[in-house]
């Protein structure tokens, strides 16, 4: 059966407008032969008695600068830092982690605002990170490193960080105009190279549509990543909630995002590719997630309804991992190597989605 017909037979995907030519290209590329893991926070309705809900504090995000960031990038304006736990001194970081561990935290995303060179000034905090890892060996730390040199990369690894993450930007105009940064594109590749040279698990990110909604440097970023051997690649789609009125962002088309999935899969055939939780909502998310399933991505965070059913119908080996953390990226990256992670039967998940859709369809509509 053609993949377009399979997708058309999935009730949850009825609002999607999938490009038939692109779907045919996915089918020819053979991505359905790969296993896929869905990381979802919405599992209570189909969880078994063996799976219990984790709290929001299971994977907290901690900022060493609080809500401060010197760059004030046009797509973010530092707003992403504001809801995070602030730990602006090494002592505060130690105290915060102890409090979170006492509340059941299994790990954290450690990040912070950048200076004017796109560097997060972790230096004074690294001895405390080492202290945390020595005191709590099972506590996992995923760090957003920003740009680093070889010396800092080695210090981060020596501190016991589990995973290092950074955005890779491939267009100088994006670096200058969106990030307000006076550094060459090559510095992003040099940072990636420095991190990969350490024992760290390195997971670069590409933000699709970062140049005001346009796809500009994404393919060069892909080439930069292909020249090195990171542990995985996370793809996200720009969500510019805080863009200035004078420089508005467009929303990248789902088809364009899907084409990039196909190119990324071809360029990195052996590297795990993950679709992160940041992407447009509504029908766009439904289409993007369907394309990610068809392209052969190995992981999708917070999947749209219909995605799991589509993967099953395409014959993909499917796992569903409950990851209800507030940021999700830590679980979605580190769960790749966690054989003990709780699982949900994907068919139970599909049945729960169908029951929910049926209940919604029976709600009477009253005309005004």
Does residue 47 share a domain with residue 57? no
The number of CA neighbours under 13 Å toward the Cβ of 47 is 16
Annotate 152-183 with b (16+ C-beta within 10 A) or e (fewer).
bbbbbbebbbbbbbbbbbbbbebbeebbebeb
Phi, psi angle pair for 214, to nearest 5°: -90, 145
For residue 269, give the nearest of 226, 299, 300, 301 by alpha carbon. 226
End position of a domain, from candidates 189, 221, 252:
252
Does residue 307 share a domain with residue 242? no
Phi, psi angle pair for 275, to nearest 5°: -95, 110
Three-state SS across the chain?
CCHHHHHHCCHHHCCCCCCHHHHHHHHHHCHHHCCEEEEECCCHHHCCCCCCCCCHHHCCEEECCCCCCCCCCCCCCCHHHCCCEECCCHHHHHHHHHHHHHCCCCEEEEECCCCCCCECCCHHHHHHHHHHHHHCCCCEEEEECECCCHHHHHHHHHCCCCEEEEECCCCHHHHHHCCCCCCCCHHHHHHHHHHHCCCCEEEEEEEECCECCECCCHHHHHHHHHCCCCCCEEEEECCCCCCCCCCCCCCCCHHHHHHHHHHHHHHCCCCCEEECCCCCCCHHHHHHHHHHHHHCCCEEECCCCCHHHHHHHCCCCEEEEECCCCCCHHHHHHHHHCCCCCCECHHHHHHHHHHHHHHHHCCCCCCC
For residue 206, give the nearest of 230, 178, 238 by alpha carbon. 238
Number of residues that this document lists for the chain: 368
Q: What percent of the chain has pLDDT over 70?
A: 85
Phi, psi angle pair for 71, to nearest 5°: -70, -40
- Residue 275 within a domain: no
Does residue 81 share a domain with residue 212? yes
Angle at which helix 186-196 crosses helix 150-158, to 10 degrees, equals 40
Does residue 307 share a domain with residue 169? no
Does residue 122 share a domain with residue 204? yes
- Residue 194 within a domain: yes
Under 8 Å CB-to-CB from 148, ≥6 apart: which residues? 119, 156, 166, 191, 194, 195
- Residue 259 within a domain: no
Domain of residue 217, CATH code: 3.20.20.70
Does residue 30 share a domain with residue 100? no
Does residue 198 share a domain with residue 159? yes
Place of tokens 């508005």: 248
Q: What pLDDT score was predicted for residue 355?
A: 75
- Residue 235 within a domain: yes
- Residue 40 within a domain: yes
Annotate 218-235 with b (16+ C-beta within 10 A) or e (fewer).
bbbbbebbeeeebbbbbb
For residue 292, give the nearest of 327, 269, 265 by alpha carbon. 265
Does residue 144 share a domain with residue 211? yes
Does residue 191 share a domain with residue 94? yes
Domain that holds residue 168: 53-252
Under 8 Å CB-to-CB from 241, ≥6 apart: which residues? 79
Mean pLDDT for each 10-residue chunk of the chain (368 residues)? 94 95 96 88 40 55 94 85 94 97 90 96 98 95 95 98 95 95 97 97 95 96 96 90 76 96 96 90 95 95 92 94 48 50 74 69 47
The C-alpha angle 162, 165, 169, rounded to 5 degrees, equals 165
Q: How many domains does the chain have?
A: 2
Burial class (CB in 10 A: 0-12, 13-18, 19+), 82: exposed
What does the alpha-carbon distance between residue 208 and residue 218 come to, in Å, rounded to a whole number?
Answer: 7
- Residue 365 within a domain: no
End position of a domain, from candidates 217, 252, 287:
252
- Residue 96 within a domain: yes
- Residue 291 within a domain: no
């Amino acid at each position: 059966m053609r993949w377009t017909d399979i997708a058309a037979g999935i009730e949850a995907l009825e609002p999607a407008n999938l490009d038939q030519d692109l779907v045919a290209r996915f089918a020819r590329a053979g991505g359905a032969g790969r296993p896929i893991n869905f990381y979802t926070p919405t599992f209570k309705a189909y969880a078994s008695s063996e799976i219990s809900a984790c709290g929001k504090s299971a994977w907290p995000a901690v900022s060493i600068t609080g809500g401060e960031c010197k760059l004030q990038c046009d797509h973010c304006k530092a707003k992403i830092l504001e809801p995070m736990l602030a730990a602006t001194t090494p002592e505060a970081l130690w105290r915060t982690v102890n409090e979170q561990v006492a509340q059941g935290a299994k790990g954290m995303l450690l990040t912070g605002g950048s200076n004017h060179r796109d560097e997060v000034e972790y230096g004074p905090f690294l001895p405390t990170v080492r202290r945390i890892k020595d005191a709590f060996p099972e506590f996992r730390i995923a760090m957003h490193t920003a740009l680093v040199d070889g010396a800092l990369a080695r210090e981060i690894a020596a501190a016991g960080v589990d995973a290092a993450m950074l955005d890779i930007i491939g267009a100088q105009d994006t670096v200058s105009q969106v990030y307000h940064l006076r550094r060459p594109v090559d510095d992003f590749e040099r940072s990636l190279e420095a991190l990969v040279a350490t024992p760290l698990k390195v997971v670069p990110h590409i933000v699709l549509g970062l140049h005001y909604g346009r796809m500009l440097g994404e393919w060069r970023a892909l080439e930069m990543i292909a020249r090195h051997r990171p542990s995985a690649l996370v793809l996200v789609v720009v969500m510019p909630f805080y863009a200035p009125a004078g420089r508005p962002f467009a929303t990248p088309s789902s088809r364009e995002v899907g084409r990039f999935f196909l190119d990324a899969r071809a360029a990195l055939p052996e590297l795990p590719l993950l679709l992160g939780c940041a992407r447009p909502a509504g029908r766009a998310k439904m289409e993007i997630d369907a394309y990610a399933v068809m392209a052969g991505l190995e992981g999708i965070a917070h999947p749209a309804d219909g995605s799991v059913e589509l993967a099953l119908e395409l014959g993909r080996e499917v796992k569903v991992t409950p990851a209800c953390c507030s940021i999700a990226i830590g679980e979605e990256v580190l769960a790749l190597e966690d054989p003990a992670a709780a699982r949900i039967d994907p068919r139970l998940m599909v049945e729960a989605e169908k029951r929910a859709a049926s209940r919604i369809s029976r709600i009477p509509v009253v005309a005004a």
